[in-house]
Amino acid sequence: MLFFSRSKIFMILGFVFLGLLLAVPNGLNESTRDKMPGAFQRTINLGLDLQGGAHMLLEVDLSSILSQALINERTAINDSFRRADERPRTEFVRADGDDSILVRLRSKEDADKALPLIQELSQPVDPTQINSAKTTRVERESDRNIRVTITKAQIDFIREQTIDKSIGVLGRRIDPNGNLELTLAPEGSERILLQVPGAVNTQEIKKKINESANLSFHLVNEKDSTNDQAMMVAMETGRVAAGDKYFPFSEANGRGGGLIVNERTRITGDCLKNSSGGPHPENNGAVVNFEFNVACAREFGQMTARNINKRFAVILDGNIITAPNIRSAITGGRGYIEGGFTMESARDLSLLLNAGALPAKLTIVEERTVDPSLGADSIRAGRIASMIGLLGVAIFMWMGYGIRFGTIANMALATNIILIAAALSLFGSTLTLPGIAGIILTIGMAVDANVLIFERIREETYNGKTPINAIETGYKLSMAPILDANITTLIAAVTLYFVGSGPVRGFAVTLAIGIVMSVFTAVVFARLLTSTWLRGKRPKTLPI
């Protein structure tokens, strides 16, 4: 146990030296740090509870995603029937339950014709995979009934896409310039974690999360919209002709009431290539200028060409912001929206539109904000507590095992702290307040391995062994208990990491790193120190 080959010594010292180099940047100021080579510029990442900032957990509204998927499926079924050479006659196609559509046909023959058409719609969820699950499950329930169920694989796929898209949109909305160092990541299967370092006022952020920015252009049903009777019914009961929908005017528009519009449209927020706020060309208000992509520009051109002297409604999040008259075909794909904007609200809206629409509603299910001054307090308190803990333990070890072995234990302890700092910097793990607690706890527990070894050496010396023999046996016999004890603690730490969340994870990380490093420093590094001392001094008795 006490013999170290030269290469091994180099490796151990090299490892410790590397740790020292990696830990050093944490103690330097920023300008000095910038001069260091890349890997050595890394410092410990402070968690939000230490640097201050806002932490939010957003939940994606799954039910709205599902109902949208059902609507799309229904539309697809109807379209495919309409396009078929021998068109099956349907009684109805409607959503039935949370995740399925019931198609009832007039006769068994119609159902026979419909079945292959519907089955054809069921595509692999992920076409790049050979055995990918299908998007829907088609069952013939009876002679005339066909049930189409959206598969779990498809729901999962849509959910993942929704979360991915939401993350993209949120990033562009909250941090359009990309300098806030946001954290935006999926958390579990239905949530998004959002962290904004340094942010204290969360009102702005919440506003950006709550706006969905769903924009669409619809043709107005002029016949019904100008018919007082139809409008009355629509306003009071929401009942309108099939394929139409009633929308109210937005508050900013200043006009009361609403319009009945054609529900189907292909001109949506996804069509926007770009938008910007600007002054109104005719009065002193403001407008939002927009530019469509090529496909939508063509579509919009055709739509306007066919409907001159009718109105189209621009609908944002369920409200009509404007409904201008079509004077001539708009073919360039450019235009502007007026709707009682101020310069500021026009600019805000264009920013939102450029960021894209959120595919689903997001609910804030958890929010934590910490003021930077509070974070600074925690760091200071943690630093003082660890200093005192460190000093206390060091004095204790000197008193317990004398100058020689006490120094070895304390050098191991100091190395341990340095290596923890190095590992945290290297892996870019986040140090949280509970993480600091983990380090302080490690300070107390780290000497355990050394205590075990020294006790054993002391015992062997007492039993009459020579110094070298006592130390050799001491290290050898301590190995099993040290490993057993630390592996079990490591198991607890790993469990904590996988089951825990947020700051608790930070604690688990520092605890786990601390355990691994303390075993290394005690059984490898301290052993090297002991062996070096033994070879140099060749003592007759042990000062332990």
Establish if 137 lies at the interface with other proteins (CB under 8 A).
no
Establish if 419 lies at the interface with other proteins (CB under 8 A).
no
Q: For 178, how many CA atoms within 13 A lie in the half-sphere containing its CB?
A: 2
Q: Which amino acid is at 491?
A: I
Which of the stretches 97-105, 123-131, 318-326, 446-454 binds other proteins when contact is defined by CB under 8 A? 446-454
Among 194, 353, 370, 509, binds other proteins (CB under 8 A): 370
Of 204, 166, 186, 179, give the one whose Cα is nearest residue 54: 204
- With residue 206 as reference, give the H or E element that holds it: helix 203-210
Among 378, 415, 429, 510, binds other proteins (CB under 8 A): 378
Of 452, 443, 505, 507, give the one whose Cα is nearest residue 475: 452
Q: Take residue 45 and report the two structure tokens written for it.
A: 């990442």
Interaction mask 327-346, other proteins, x per CB under 8 A: --------------------
Establish if 305 lies at the interface with other proteins (CB under 8 A).
no
Establish if 543 lies at the interface with other proteins (CB under 8 A).
yes
Of 363, 371, 415, give the one whose Cα is nearest residue 528: 415
Establish if 476 lies at the interface with other proteins (CB under 8 A).
no
CB of 135 to other proteins, least distance (A): 29
Of 314, 324, 318, 332, give the one whose Cα is nearest residue 273: 332
CB of 438 to other proteins, least distance (A): 8
Establish if 369 lies at the interface with other proteins (CB under 8 A).
yes
Which of the stretches 73-81, 82-90, 264-272, 389-397 binds other proteins when contact is defined by CB under 8 A? 389-397
Cβ-contact 105, 88 below 8 angstroms = yes
Establish if 204 lies at the interface with other proteins (CB under 8 A).
no
Q: Take residue 174 and report the two structure tokens written for it.
A: 């909250």
Establish if 211 lies at the interface with other proteins (CB under 8 A).
no
According to CB under 8 A, which residues from 395 to 414 bind other proteins?
Answer: 396-397, 399-404
* Adjacent-strand bridge partners of 315: 216, 320
Of 197, 175, 178, 194, give the one whose Cα is nearest residue 186: 194
CB of 406 to other proteins, least distance (A): 9
According to CB under 8 A, which residues from 52 to 71 bind other proteins?
Answer: 57, 59
Among 9, 39, 388, 414, binds other proteins (CB under 8 A): 388
Among 233, 477, 524, 534, binds other proteins (CB under 8 A): 477
CB of 398 to other proteins, least distance (A): 8
In the complex with other proteins, the residue whose CB is nearer, 223 or 380, is 380
Establish if 452 lies at the interface with other proteins (CB under 8 A).
yes
Which of the stretches 35-43, 283-291, 341-349, 473-481 binds other proteins when contact is defined by CB under 8 A? 473-481
Q: Which residues contact 288 (CB under 8 A, 6 or more apart)?
A: 275, 276, 277, 278, 336, 337, 339, 341, 346, 349, 350, 353
Which of the stretches 24-32, 147-155, 292-300, 474-482 binds other proteins when contact is defined by CB under 8 A? 474-482
CB of 361 to other proteins, least distance (A): 8
Among 196, 297, 433, 470, binds other proteins (CB under 8 A): 433
**Beta strands 215-219; 191-197: pairing state:** unpaired
CB of 446 to other proteins, least distance (A): 9
CB of 261 to other proteins, least distance (A): 24
Angle between the N-to-C axes of helices 526-537 and 467-499, in degrees from 0 to 180, rounded to the nearest 10: 170
> How far lies 274's CA from each of 150, 271, 283, in Å?
35, 9, 23
Which of the stretches 12-20, 322-330, 431-439, 520-528 binds other proteins when contact is defined by CB under 8 A? 431-439
- With residue 164 as reference, give the H or E element that holds it: helix 152-174
CB of 522 to other proteins, least distance (A): 12
Q: Which residues contact 159 (CB under 8 A, 6 or more apart)?
A: 60, 62, 65, 189, 190
**Binding residues for other proteins, how many (CB under 8 A)?**
83
Q: Which amino acid is at 106?
A: R
Greatest CA separation for the chain: 111
Three-state DSSP at 185 gives strand
According to CB under 8 A, which residues from 478 to 517 bind other proteins?
Answer: 480-481, 484-489, 491-493, 495-496, 499-504, 507-508, 511
Establish if 440 lies at the interface with other proteins (CB under 8 A).
yes
Cβ-contact 249, 256 below 8 angstroms = yes
In the complex with other proteins, the residue whose CB is nearer, 275 or 461, is 461
CB of 385 to other proteins, least distance (A): 4
